[in-house]
Amino acid sequence: MLKRTLEDYKALLRNIPSGTVTLFVVSVIVMNLLANKELVSLPWLALDCGITVSWVSFLCMDMICKRFGANASIKVSVLAEAINLAVCLLFWLVSLTPGMWGAYYSTDSIQVNDALNATFGGTWYVVFGSTVSMLCSSVVNSLLNEGIGRRLKKNTFGTFALRSYVSTMVGQFVDNFVFATIVSHTFFGWTWAQVVMCSLTGALVELACEVFLSPVGFRVVRSWERDGVGENYLRLHAAEATR
């Protein structure tokens, strides 16, 4: 089973354009790092700066799902999270070293150095919450996207937009809700009303960001289809399905 999974990963990564995978992985890493800074803090809306790139990962998932299917999208999400955890581990180890950050020499403040170590070192429950929420949302987003796509016959931007917007809205809500439940409710004392309201409003903001560039995502996927990108992987899975 493990050998087959690894072989499938190899085949998938050989067929998905490397730029898309790279953008996906980088967006996940940057999103988790920027989540350390607050963007909006209201009783009914709480957003961190990670929202500026979180929609990128969902757009990449929708593109991969459209061309390669839900399983491929989920597998790339798992890979992105694994790399992100490795980066978080590296940041944590670096934060333990005795050296000073560059900002220390311009401020001459040990508090600034300690703050940077704390920011890059991360907090275990935040890393855990973001990992679980992203994995849950990627499964929901990918399966819902593919499920809607199977019921749509036309290969137009309208159908791409419908499956992407619905799955992204639901997936982003799940992402925000799971994270807020694990982190904000458990450790910061948020009420359930705050958890639900902030999850919903945050999902709407993130959806609006994706809507803006979804036409670009659709054109990219259409170019993959015209150029036969991923044909080997698709034929491999089509052959397995007929066995």
Please report which helix (H) or strand (E) contains residue 121, including its range: helix 110-121
Longest Cα separation, the chain: 68
Asked if pLDDT for residue 243 goes beyond 60, the answer is no
**Average pLDDT of the segment spanning 77-82:** 94
At residue 2, the pLDDT reads 74
Residue 162: pLDDT band (50, 70, 90) is: very high
The stretch 164-180 carries a mean pLDDT of 93
> Which pTM was predicted?
0.89
pLDDT digits (tens, 9 = 90+) for 119-151: 888 888 888 988 999 999 999 999 999 999 999
* Mean residue pLDDT across the chain: 88
State the CB neighbour count (10 A cutoff) for residue 5: 10
pLDDT value of position 102 = 87
pLDDT tens-digit readout, 209-225: 888 889 999 999 999 99
Confidence class of residue 239 from pLDDT cuts 50, 70 and 90? low
pLDDT at 177: 93
Which of 5 and 177 is assigned the larger pLDDT? 177
Contact call for residues 136 and 175 (beta carbons, < 8 A): yes
Spatial separation of the C-alpha atoms in residues 162 and 239, rounded to whole Å: 29
Rounded distance between C-alpha atoms, residue 125 and residue 129, angstroms: 6
